[in-house]
Amino acid sequence: MPYAKIVGSGSYLPPKVVSNDDLAADLATRGVETSDQWIRERTGIQQRHLAERGVKTSELATLAAKAALEDAGAQASEIDLIVLATSTPDFVFPSTACLVQANIQATNAAAFDVQAVCSGFVYALTTAEVYIKAGRAKNVLVIGAETFSSILDWNDRSTCVLFGDGAGAVVLSASEEPGIIGAKLHADGTKMPILSAAGNVSYGEVVGDPFLRMDGQAVFKFAVNALTQSAHQVCDEAGVSLDDIDYMIPHQANLRILSFLGRKLGVSDDKIVVTLDKHANTSAASVPLALDQARKDGRLVPGKLALLQGVGGGFTWGSVLVRM
Ligand code: ACO
């Protein structure tokens, strides 16, 4: 089987929806000032789903995984690998992938986590494709899941308004038909100072800063350039023209990043899938959540060509070209 193909997708969002106005009112009680107008104008975000305190990433991931299995018409026992992207794992160990493996009773699956922050799903999908192409797996559950609300400093208005919680998943299977036709990943660890959550648990104590910190403007510039170059590179290597792409599914961080990206690539707005207005930035979950939405609303029908893109902490970034 020469290809790895997406044969099902699913997603899950926690039921609690917090509008910008709700959030502004809540933050005001802490003396933190923000507004719907500021958030909308600077980011395009209108609302986010937030998990209740104590709800774990594995719980969201499990529900997304079950939805993807059902959509694919696959049994958990047919899955031979689970690759789960997250930066908000339930525990130091076991991996969140193992917790999902137990929850869905995927008794024939190996399972591990991938940590590439907002590029996590693109990294996980590329990893899964390599397993399938090498003949080491036939059906892989690829999941992006986060509870970013747990690593936000709710007194820092420059970051806490940007993120939400959620999970998305796909079933990737060996196929004779084209599926993933190109992929390219990158990393630059020297960029750690512009985006990190540089804390750890050591000797029974939190060491360092457990909250996400970001230089927003530096991240903005880096993200636009990295995604632009990455799009050109993966298309060139696959022998595909940017004009051939039906839909772009970039990481959902900021509407202005997506607009700049579209303009730089000459891709019209109607070809860019946007969910950040409703989900905010869900890190590793943002791409599979957007992909699932575009499949379910009838845009990503079989045969369509999609460009999936991630960029985030590390820094990490990358692109995957998928024939649906
Ligand atoms: N509400 C009201 N005012 C705010 C808020 C807020 N939530 N946050 C910051 N401000 C204020 C600042 O204090 C500043 O005030 P000052 O001029 O009095 O000092 C003013 O707004 C402008 O702040 P900037 O940081 O310059 O605002 P900018 O236009 O750069 O927008 C933003 C900030 C939205 C974070 C932008 O830089 C951005 O989108 N960067 C991309 C980062 C991103 O999306 N990261 C997501 C994680 S990384 C990833 O997913 C790739």
Domain span at residue 212 reads 180-323
Asked whether 140 lines ligand 1 (CB < 6 A), one says: no
Pair 160, 213 in one domain: no
Asked if residues 172 and 125 have their Cβ atoms less than 8 Å apart, the reply is: yes
Burial (CB count within 10 angstroms: exposed 0-12, middle 13-18, buried 19+), residue 57:
buried
Within this chain, do residues 151 and 265 fall inside the same structural domain, yes or no?
no
Catalytic pick among 118, 139, 160, 235? 118
- Asked whether 119 lines ligand 1 (CB < 6 A), one says no
Q: Is the same domain home to 34 and 100? A: yes
Give dist(CA 148, CA 22) in Å, integer. Answer: 18
98 is annotated as an active-site residue: no
Give CA–CA dist 79/98, Å, rounded: 13
65 and 141 share one domain: yes
Q: Which residue has the tokens 């990737």?
A: 172
Torsion on CA atoms 14, 15, 21, 22, rounded to nearest 10: -100
| Secondary structure of residue 304 in the 3-state scheme | coil
In this predicted structure, what is the pLDDT of residue 7? 98
Of 245, 318, 309, 26, the residue nearest 157 (C-alpha): 26
Task: List residues bridging with 168 in a β-sheet.
Answer: 11, 144
- The phi and psi torsions of 2 (rounded to 5 degrees) equal -80, -15
Is the same domain home to 271 and 292?
A: yes
From first to last of the 324 residues of the chain, give the pLDDT tens digit. Answer: 689 999 999 999 999 999 999 999 999 999 999 999 999 999 999 999 999 999 999 999 999 999 999 999 999 999 999 999 999 999 999 999 999 999 999 999 999 999 999 999 999 999 999 999 999 999 999 999 999 999 999 999 999 999 999 999 999 999 999 999 999 999 999 999 999 999 999 999 999 999 999 999 999 999 999 999 999 999 999 999 999 999 999 999 999 999 999 999 999 999 999 999 999 999 999 999 999 999 999 999 999 999 999 999 999 999 999 999
The domain boundary, picked from 112, 142, 175, lies at 175
C-alpha 28 – ligand 1 centre gap (Å): 18
163 and 211 share a domain?
no
Q: Tell me, what CATH number does 230's domain have?
A: 3.40.47.10
Q: Are residues 78 and 191 in the same domain?
A: no
The predicted structure's pLDDT at residue 116: 98
> What's the gap in Å between 158 CA and the centre of ligand 1?
5
Ligand 1 pocket check: which of 20, 27, 32, 42 to mutate, most ligand atoms within 8 Å of Cβ?
Answer: 42
Do residue 202 and residue 136 come from a single domain?
no
Supply the pLDDT for residue 87.
98
Question: What pLDDT does residue 2 have?
Answer: 85
Same domain, 171 and 184: no
What one-character-per-residue DSSP string does 49-116 give? E-PPTT--HHHHHHHHHHHHHHHHT--GGG--EEEEE-SS-SSSSS-HHHHHHHHHT-TT-EEEEE--
In the annotation, is 103 catalytic? no
Same-domain pairing of 150 and 215: no
Q: Are residues 148 and 211 in the same domain?
A: no
Per DSSP bridges, beta strands 139-147 and 81-85 are parallel
Number of domains making up the chain? 2
